[in-house]
Amino acid sequence: MNFVLDAQEKSLLEQIKTKLPEIGNDRSKLIPVLQLIQAKLAYLPAEAIHVVAAHLDISPSEVYGVATFYNQFRFHPPGKNAVKVCLGTACHVKGGDIILENFERKLEIKEGETTADREFSVDRVACVGCCALAPVIVVGETVHGHMQPSKVEGLVLRARIEKEKQEREKQQK
């Protein structure tokens, strides 16, 4: 899925473009440049891959190949509700994969992806350090322990209702 850059992301990317000449255009700068972009934008949009390719004079395919090799790079923007499903040993034993599957089905995305409205993103992580609460998920900064499929439903629904409510209030003003 390709995400359209919002105005803020566009201006950040333009800012990065002006900084690139300082970094130099040696091939060895590929990963540092990608890291810089991800630090600013939180992900690597398709536009950024083309910017990097043009700057280093290599093909976009090569940039893509390197970027997909490393786990640190993501190609989907983090959602407003960034869901991290723990699949560490304890959570795995307690059925963390079922929780992950529930999110994937409910939000109609795969792990590592983001919903088209950018409200939710789902990622798997390895141990968040509170195994006694397994299976655990982290939404934004909030830890949710003892997860169940019904709780997944509730979380998604609550976030959606809250968003609707906010929008309604905005309209009233």
Partner 1 sequence: MVTLSVDASKIEIAAGTNLLAACLQNDIYVPNLCYIEGMDHPPASCRLCFVEIEGKDAPVPACTVEVRHDMAVRTDTPGVRRLQKTALQLLLSVHDVDCKNCPANRNCALQDMAKFLKIALKSKHLDLFLKKSKIDLGHPFLEYYPNRCVLCGRCIYVCRAQQAHTQLTFAKRGFDTVIGFFGNPQSSPPSCDTCRACAEACPVAALLPKP
Instruction: Please report how close the Cβ of residue 39 comes to partner 1 at its closest, in angstroms.
Output: 21
Binding mask 2-41 for partner 1 (x = CB under 8 A): ----------------------------------------
Q: Which two tokens stand for residue 104?
A: 């994937």
Instruction: Please report how close the Cβ of residue 67 comes to partner 1 at its closest, in angstroms.
Output: 9
Nearer Cβ to partner 1 (43/80): 43
Binding mask 54-73 for partner 1 (x = CB under 8 A): ----xxxxxxxx--xx----
**Burial (CB count within 10 angstroms: exposed 0-12, middle 13-18, buried 19+), residue 135:** buried
132 neighbors 21 (Cβ within 8 angstroms): no
Nearer Cβ to partner 1 (62/104): 62
143 touching partner 1, by CB under 8 A: no
Q: What is the DSSP string of 86-132?
A: E-SHHHHHTTHHHHHHHHHHHHT--TT-B-TTSSEEEEEES--S-GG
Give 143's contacts (C-beta < 8 A, 6+ positions apart).
Answer: 128, 130, 133, 136, 137
3-state secondary structure of 167: helix
Spatial distance between the Cα atoms of 82 and 123, rounded to a whole number of angstroms? 8
Nearer Cβ to partner 1 (75/120): 75
Nearer Cβ to partner 1 (59/166): 59
Strand partners, 143: 138
- Residue 95: which region, alpha, beta or left (left: phi > 0; alpha: psi -120 to 50)? left
Nearer Cβ to partner 1 (70/162): 70
Instruction: Please report how close the Cβ of residue 57 comes to partner 1 at its closest, in angstroms.
Output: 8
Piece of the chain touching partner 1 by CB under 8 A; list 12-20, 46-54, 123-131, 138-146: 46-54
Residues of this chain that bind partner 1 (CB under 8 A) = 46, 49-50, 58-65, 68-69
